[in-house]
Amino acid sequence: MRSIGYLLTHYDVLGAFGVNLQLTAWSVLFSLVLGIILVLLRICPVRSLRLFATGFVNLFQNLPLTIVMVFLLLGAFVQLRFQFSSNFSTNFFWFAVTGLSLYTSAFVCESIRSGINTVPLGQAEAARSLGLGFFQSATLVILPQAVRGSVAPLGNTLIALLKNSTVASAAAVSTETSSLMNTMIQYNASSIVSVFLIFALGYVILIIPIGLLTTWLSNKLAVRR
Amino acid sequence: MPFQSVSLRSLGRSARRRIVSAVLALVCVAGSVMASACGNEDVQVTGPRIRIGVKFDQPGLSVDNGGQFSGFDIDVARYVANKLGYSPSQIQFKEAPSAQREALLQNGSVNMVIGTYSITQDRKSVVDFAGPYFVAGQDLLIRRSDRSKITGPRSLAGRKVCSVSGSTSATTVKKYFPRSVQLMELSGYAECVTALVSGAVDAVTTDDIILATLASAKGDHSLMVVGHPFTKETYGIGVRKDSPHLVAKINEALREMIASGEWKRDLDAATKGTGFTPNKKWNPPTRMDAAVSDERVRF
C-alpha cells in the first residue's frame, strides 16, 4: 500500500489536471463559437441551412464521443494523414480539441435554443416591426436574451465537457488524467483505491464550484418577466 | 441536475456539513473495499466451474472470436485448468483488462489471471503468482522494408513510436529512448499496428511475444520483430493472495506442460509465419519461482 502523499509526489497529478483544463478551455471557446453559428442556422429563414444545422446537431449529439475521437485519430490522422503539427503531442492535443468542440457545439446549440424558447414571440415581432432584418434581430434582440436564459444548461454542458475531456486519451493525448490514472494503477496495483480517490476528489473539487457558479449566474442574469 | 438546485446563497452551515458527510461516506466506502480484500485462508478452487481472467484483444495470445477463445495464454489456461481437474467446457473466460486484474482476483470474480501479467514486487504484495510460464522482453515491431534502418531503440532517433496508453512499455520509451523519439499512445496494439502499416509511426513497442503474434495475425509478412529484447518481463499466473497450495498445483502443471513439449507446440502455433523465436536464455522457464521482472533497460 502506498500513501496518497507518495502518489502525489511521484506523479504529476496537477499537470494532468492542467492538461484537462487546457483541453476544456480551448473547447469552450470553439464550441461556443460553433454552437452560436449552429443556433443561428437552426432559426434562420433558409430551409436548407436549417436542415444542415439540424443534421449536424443530431449527428454529434447521438455519436459517442469516443467514436468521434477514434474516427478523427485513426481516420483523419492515421489513414488520411491529415495533421495539425508534426510534433505528436501538439498534434494530438488539437485533434482532441477538435473532437471535443465538434461534439460539445451540438449541445451548446441545443442549450441556447432552449434559451430562445424563453424569449416571447412578441420580442421577435417588435424587432421586425422596427425594421431589423433576421441577422440584426437575432444578434441584437433574441440571442442576448436567449443566452441569459440558457446559463444553467450551458453550465451543465461545461461540466459534461470537463469530464468528457478525459476521452482525449482516445485521441492519443497521453498526459491527461485518465491516462495518468492508468499509468499509476499499472505501477501501484496495491493502491488502486488511493489512485481512484485522488482523481475522483480532483474532479469533484473542480466541478462543484462550476455548478455553484452557473446556478448563481443563471439567477442573476435571468430576464425577469 | 443536482448542482442546479443548490444556490450559492443557500450554501450555509447545513450544506457544508452535508458535503463533509458525503466525503466521509466516500472514504468509508473506499475503506470497506480495502478491508474486504484481506482474507487469510488459503484459497482453493472449488465448484463446477473455474473462472479465468484473460485479455480479449491480443491476437495470438488470447483473443475472443465470438465466444471462441484462442491463443497461447488460452492454451496455457486450458492446460492448467485440465490439471486442476476442469474440462474445457467448465472453463469460464472473463475479461481482465490490465488495470483491473488485481481487483478481479481480490474480490473473487476470477480464480486466476493469465494475461501477459508481468510479475512485479508491487503486484506481489496484493496477489500471489505461479510461474513464470514465459519470459518476454520489450522489443520493436517494424515494417519489413525498414529492417536495415531500424535495429534497436538507438536507431529510432527522430522517429515515431506507438505503444498502449499507460503501459510499462510506454513508460520505458519516455524514460530511456532517445529524446527525439516521439511517442503515440493508443488504447490497443491493434490500433498501433494500423498506424504502423499506414506509416504514421515507424515502430510499435511492447513485449516481444505480443509483437510476434501481432505480426503473425497481420498474415502477409509485411511486419517483423527486431529481435533484441531490452527488458525482462516474467509472465506469471496471478491468483488470490495467500494461496500457496494453488500456486504449487499450477507450477506443477506448468512444469509438465513444458516437459511434455506441449508448451513449445502451442507457442510455435501462436507465432507461426513470423520467424520469431523467444529469447533462448530465458525460455522455456526452468524455475517456477515467481521471479520478478527486471525492468532495467539494456540496449
Domain ranges in chain A are 4-221
Q: Is B4 in Cβ contact with A192 (below 8 Å)?
A: no
Examine the pLDDT at A186 and tell me if it is beyond 90.
no
Q: For residue A58, what pLDDT band results from cuts at 50, 70 and 90? A: very high
What are the grid coordinates assigned to B180, written together?
527525439
Find out if CATH 3.40.50.1100 is the number for domain A4-221.
Answer: no
State residue B38's pLDDT score: 39
More confident residue, B6 or A211: A211
| Contact of B212 with B71, CB cutoff 8 Å | no
Decide whether B53-136+232-270 matches B138-225 in CATH topology: yes
Query: Shortest CA distance to A173 belongs to which of A88, A78, A60?
Result: A88
State how far residue B155 is from chain A, nearest Cα, in angstroms: 19
Q: Which chain A residues in 168-197 lie under 8 Å from chain B, judged by CB atoms? A: 169-170, 172, 174, 179-183, 185-190, 192-193, 196-197
Examine the pLDDT at A122 and tell me if it is beyond 60.
yes
Find out if CATH 3.90.800.10 is the number for domain B138-225.
Answer: no
Closest in B6, B19, B166 to A215, CB measured: B6
Closest in B7, B125, B200 to A215, CB measured: B7
Q: Is A208 in Cβ contact with B200 (below 8 Å)?
A: no
Alpha-carbon radius of gyration of chain B: 22
State residue A225's pLDDT score: 78
Q: Which residues of A touch B3 (CB under 8 A)?
A: 155-156, 159, 207-208, 210-212, 214-215
Q: Which residues of B touch A1 (CB under 8 A)?
A: 125
| Contacts of B134 by beta carbon, 8 Å cutoff, 6+ apart | B72, B209, B234, B235, B267, B278, B283, B284, B285
State how far residue A199 is from chain B, nearest Cα, in angstroms: 13
State residue B2's pLDDT score: 42
State residue B19's pLDDT score: 57
Distance CA B299, CA B295 (A): 12
Beta partners for residue B142, in sequence order: B203, B224
3-state SS, B136-197, equals: ECEEEEEEHHHCCCCCCHHHHCCCEEEEECCCHHHHHHHHHCCCCCEEEEECCHHHHHHHHH
Q: For residue A38, what pLDDT band results from cuts at 50, 70 and 90? A: very high
Other CB atoms within 10 A of residue A90 CB: 12
The count of CB pairs under 8 A between chains A and B is 118
State residue A200's pLDDT score: 95
Distance CA A136, CA A139 (A): 5
Q: Structural domain boundaries of chain B?
A: 53-136+232-270, 138-225
The share of chain A scoring above pLDDT 70, in percent, equals 100
State residue B5's pLDDT score: 42
Q: Which chain B residues in 40-99 lie under 8 Å from chain A, judged by CB atoms? A: 98-99
Q: Which chain B residues in 196-255 lie under 8 Å from chain A, judged by CB atoms? A: 198-200
pLDDT tens-digit map of A93-115:
999 999 999 999 999 999 999 99
The residue type at A37 = I
State residue A206's pLDDT score: 95
Which helix (DSSP H) or strand (DSSP E) does residue B205 occupy?
strand B203-207
Q: Which residues of B touch A214 (CB under 8 A)?
A: 3-4
Chain centre distance of CA B181: 24
Q: Which residues of B touch A72 (CB under 8 A)?
A: none
Alpha-carbon radius of gyration of chain A: 21
Regions of chain B with pLDDT less than 50:
1-10, 32-41
CATH of domain B53-136+232-270: 3.40.190.10
**Average pLDDT of span A132-161:** 94
Q: For residue A199, what pLDDT band results from cuts at 50, 70 and 90? A: very high
State residue B39's pLDDT score: 39
State residue B35's pLDDT score: 44
**Mutation choice for B interface testing from A78, A201, A214 by most B CBs within 10 A:** A78
State how far residue B185 is from chain A, nearest Cα, in angstroms: 5
Q: Which residues of B touch A70 (CB under 8 A)?
A: 191
ipTM above 0.85, yes or no: no
| Contact of B129 with B119, CB cutoff 8 Å | yes
State how far residue B53 is from chain A, nearest Cα, in angstroms: 16
Q: Which residues of B touch A73 (CB under 8 A)?
A: 186
